[in-house]
Amino acid sequence: MTAAVSAPSATPAEAVVHEEVAIRARGLAKRFGPIVALDGLDLDVPAGSIFGLLGPNGAGKTTTIRILTGLARPSAGTATVAGVEVGLDRPELRRRLGYLDQDPRFYPWMRGRELLELVGRLVGLEGADLRERVSSMLERTGLADVAGRRIGGYSGGMRQRLGIAQALLDRPAVVFLDEPVSSLDPEGRRDVLELIEGLRGETTVVVSTHVLSDVERVCDRVAILDRGQLVAEAPLDRLLAEHLRPLYRLVPEPGQREAVAGFVERVRGSPWVTDIVTASDGDVRVTVRDPAVAGAALLAMVVDQDLRLAAFERVRPTLEDVFLELVGTPSADELDGRGYVRPREAHR
Amino acid sequence: MMAGLGTFLRKELLEQWRTLRLPVVAMIFLLVGLSSPLLARFTPDILEAVAGDQFQVVLPTPTAADAVDQLAKNLGQFGGLIAVLLAMGSVATEKERGTAALFLTKPLSRAAFLTAKLLAIGLTLGVSVAIATAGAWFYTLVLFEPLALPGVAAGGVLQWLTLMAWASITFVGSTLTRSSLAAAGLGIVAFIVVGILGVLPNVGTFLPTGLGGPGRALALGVPGPDPIVPTVATIVLIGATGLVAWLAFRRQEL
């Protein structure tokens, strides 16, 4: 149920015409045989921004990052990162970027500090400067106490922190973080998000994630991808403002699956409803035309349906609402066995 | 072109040490080196003891040449297998694990990445062949007669070049695929095919197996086949495999 939002309100080129651009992509496409992973992506990422790349699994986020970091070749289109055209074997491109894989792997025999020293030497740091940067990043990522331990003994969260440390070590012009907090516990998540927030204005950060609350917290601009296509790209506050519609949130008590489904179907047929979605946490979000009419009608339907609620409120739309409106919730037929949205196939 | 080579080579050498590849391979080669003259010297006695009174075994008196031949045979077989094992996962494992992607988003060129790996394999094999050759030279001295050290060392260098040929062919396989087993398969097939082709007249001289005859002659200090042609041919083969690996790797997505 993808909403009828066809494109960002301004093209990326228009949107950033007065800003310095750190990443520029034009018509970027990636095909794997008949599968279209990325379809004509136009993107401008302003320098110094924290840019959220959003989309469901299989939307093309990682493919975009892999092309922009020189790990994959685009099937069509061009892109520059920090003024350097992207390509497979471009050390001059890599001098300007930092990269964290969504599942960072390192040499298990190596120690954490040694890995950062190796990365530091590769990016041109040496001597006291190298030691100072390595120690500083170990402190900032909370790894100072385990820096002398072999990476093979690190937990998933520690590996992710180490990945962030190596990506930021030499303060690169552009940093790509693919799902940077996916393996972290709440405390680690908070620390890393604070670390990313601290980079605002200092370097350009592209964060790929589907944890929308994290994006709302740290990103100042977002792009939403769906099945390889850009469906929205704008500063976060503008995106929220553009999609500001009267919204009610209902939190059903657990164990009422059938009642909730019946309620949703009944509400969907009402003339004052523009959209109704069941969010990932079970909340029901109802976007309406006339909040005064809708509020009363919704409560009446709740009573009629004998639905027990933990909460009922009128809320300001969140990024999740905007995301669900633009991308929709994929049906079971649209998901593959891994829970990824099936990519589109190219027209033959 | 070679951005980051020195730094990444240091990492590769540290990896050879920390993962125990260098110590283990060196130890195996030392055992091969020490056991070769021993086998040459005592094989007749062992056979005689095993045969007992059942039948009489008549074998020529072993010489230093038998020790050199035994070393060449053992290093050719065990060493060849170890060269394939060392090279099979060198690139494929890094691609499969994702560590290649990590470092190739740093200012490290793909040429430097491959060169560092091949040099580290070469160093491990070189140190190991040197240890094996030194051990064999010492036991040949004790059990038979002293052999001129420069000649033995030159023979060792040719033996190392042969092993590097198997390693570099396997290395190409490791670069072309994401499978260590496929790379090992390529190395072993090359090992067998070159071994068969090596016995053909006029062909063997241009193959790594053609280094055996000159190596033996150099170690024993006797006249033998010219080492120049097989040496140059093997170096060209190693260079060509390195070039093929680079041409393929520079276009690969990681």
Q: What tokens were used for A213?
A: 């609350």
Which ipTM score applies to this complex? 0.86
Closest CA relative to residue B159, chosen from B86, B219, B93: B219
> What's residue A2's pLDDT?
31
CB A164 within 8 A of CB A141: yes
Is the distance from CB of B180 to CB of B92 less than 8 angstroms?
A: yes
Dihedral pair phi/psi, residue A107, rounded to 5°:
-80, 120
| Amino acid letter for position B181 | L
Q: Are A60 and A225 contacting, i.e. CB atoms less than 8 angstroms apart?
A: yes
Q: A246 φ, ψ to 5°?
A: -55, 130
Please report which confidence band the pLDDT of residue A333 belongs to, taking 50, 70 and 90 as the band edges: low
Please check the confidence at residue B150 and state whether its pLDDT lies above 70: yes
Query: Which of B106, B109, B117 to mutate against chain A (most A CBs within 10 Å)?
Result: B106
Give pLDDT, residue B106. 92
Q: At A305, is the pLDDT very low, low, confident or very high (cuts 50, 70, 90)? A: confident
Nearest CA to CA, how far is A144 from chain B (Å)? 21
Report the pLDDT averaged over residues A114-129. Answer: 94
pLDDT of res. A151: 96
Average pLDDT over residues A316-328: 74
The pLDDT assigned to A215 comes to 86
Q: Which of B3, B11, B107 sits opposite A118 (nearest CB)?
A: B11
Q: Which of A71, A118, A124 sits opposite B105 (nearest CB)?
A: A71
Sign of the torsion formed by the C-alpha atoms of A230, A235, A240 and A243: negative
Beta pairing, strands A84-85 & A76-81: antiparallel
Instruction: Name the minimum distance, in Å, from the CA of A72 to any CA of chain B.
Output: 5
Q: Which residue has the tokens 């240890």?
A: B131
Average pLDDT over residues A244-263: 87
Give CA–CA dist A288/A205, Å, rounded.
Answer: 36
Residue contact B3–A91, C-beta within 8 A: yes
**Of the candidates A70, A73, A114, which has its C-beta nearest B105's C-beta?**
A70
- pTM here? 0.80
* Best to test chain B binding among A30, A62, A73, A89 (most B CBs inside 10 Å): A89
Q: Residue A126 gets which letter from DSSP?
A: -
CB contact under 8 A, B15 and A109: yes
Average pLDDT for A237-249: 80
Q: Which pLDDT value is given to residue A255?
A: 87
Cβ neighbours of A88 in B, within 8 Å: 110, 250-253
Nearest to B7 among A70, A101, A122 (CB): A122
With an 8 Å Cβ cutoff, is B3 touching chain A?
Answer: yes
Distances (CA, A) of B215 to A343, A344, B220, B227: 60, 61, 9, 8
Give the residue from B102, B247, B252, B254 with the most A CB atoms within 10 Å of its CB, the best one to mutate: B102
For residue A195, the model assigns a pLDDT of: 86
Q: What is the mean pLDDT of residues A175-201?
A: 86
Mean pLDDT of chain A: 85
Interface residue B239 vs chain A (CB under 8 A): no
Are B15 and A101 within 8 A, CB to CB? no
Nearest CA in chain A to B16: A109
- DSSP 8-state secondary structure symbol assigned to residue A169: T
Interface test with B, best of A105, A160, A162, A168 (most B CBs within 10 A): A105
Q: How confident is the model at residue A211 (pLDDT cuts 50, 70, 90)?
A: confident
Neighbours of B210 (CB within 10 A): 24
How much is the average pLDDT of A273-278?
Answer: 88
Nearest CA-CA partner of B120 in B18, B21, B28, B12: B12
pLDDT in tens, B77-124: 999 999 999 999 999 999 998 899 999 999 999 999 999 999 999 999
Check if B24 contacts A (Cβ < 8 Å): no
Nearest-Cα residue of chain A relative to residue B96? A105
Cβ-based contacts of A91 with chain B (< 8 Å): 3-4, 107-109
Alpha helices in chain A (DSSP H): 12-15, 61-68, 91-94, 112-122, 127-140, 156-168, 186-197, 212-218, 236-242, 257-268, 291-304, 319-327
Whether residue B102 and residue A89 make contact (CB cut-off 8 A), yes or no, is no
Q: Under the phi-then-psi rule, with left for phi > 0, alpha for psi from -120 to 50, and beta for the rest, what region is A33?
A: left
Residue A137's pLDDT is: 94
Radius of gyration of chain A from its Cα atoms, rounded to whole angstroms: 22
Closest CA to B48 of B62, B64, B67, B66: B62
What's the 3-state SS for chain B? Answer: CCCCHHHHHHHHHHHHHHCCHHHHHHHHHHHHHHHHHHHHHHHHHHHHHHHCCCCCCCCCCCCHHHHHHHHHHHHHHHHHHHHHHHHHCCCHHHHHHCHHHHHCCCCCCHHHHHHHHHHHHHHHHHHHHHHHHHHHHHHHHHHCCCCCHHHHHHHHHHHHHHHHHHHHHHHHHHHHCCCHHHHHHHHHHHHHHHHHHCCCCCCHHHCHHHHHHHHHHHHHCCCCCCCHHHHHHHHHHHHHHHHHHHHHHCCCCC
**B110, closest residue in chain A (CA to CA):** A89
CB contact under 8 A, B98 and A69: no
pLDDT the model gives residue B50:
78
Distance CA A127, CA A137 (A): 16
Dump pLDDT digits (tens) for B23-82. Answer: 999 999 999 999 999 999 988 888 878 777 666 767 788 899 999 999 999 999 999 999
Please, what is the Cα angle at B143 between B141 and B146, to 5 degrees? Answer: 20
Q: What percent of chain B has pLDDT over 90?
A: 74
| Residues of chain A with C-beta less than 8 angstroms from the C-beta of B103 | 122
Q: Which pair of tokens denotes residue A146?
A: 């385990």
The whole-number pLDDT of residue B217 equals: 94
B107: nearest CA in chain A? A91
Produce one character per residue of B171-191: b if its CB has 16 or more CB atoms within 10 Å, e if not. bbbbbbbbbbeebbbbbbebb
Strands A76-81 vs A21-32: parallel, antiparallel or unpaired: antiparallel
Bridge pairing between strands A221-226 and A50-54: parallel
Contact, A38 vs A63, CB < 8 A? yes
Closest chain B residue to the Cα of A123, Cα to Cα: B107
Q: What pLDDT is stored for residue B132 in this prediction?
A: 97
**Is residue A312 a contact partner of residue A248, using CB atoms and an 8 Å limit?**
yes
Q: Which pair of tokens denotes residue B78?
A: 């065990």
Do A91 and B11 make contact, defined as CB atoms within 8 angstroms? no
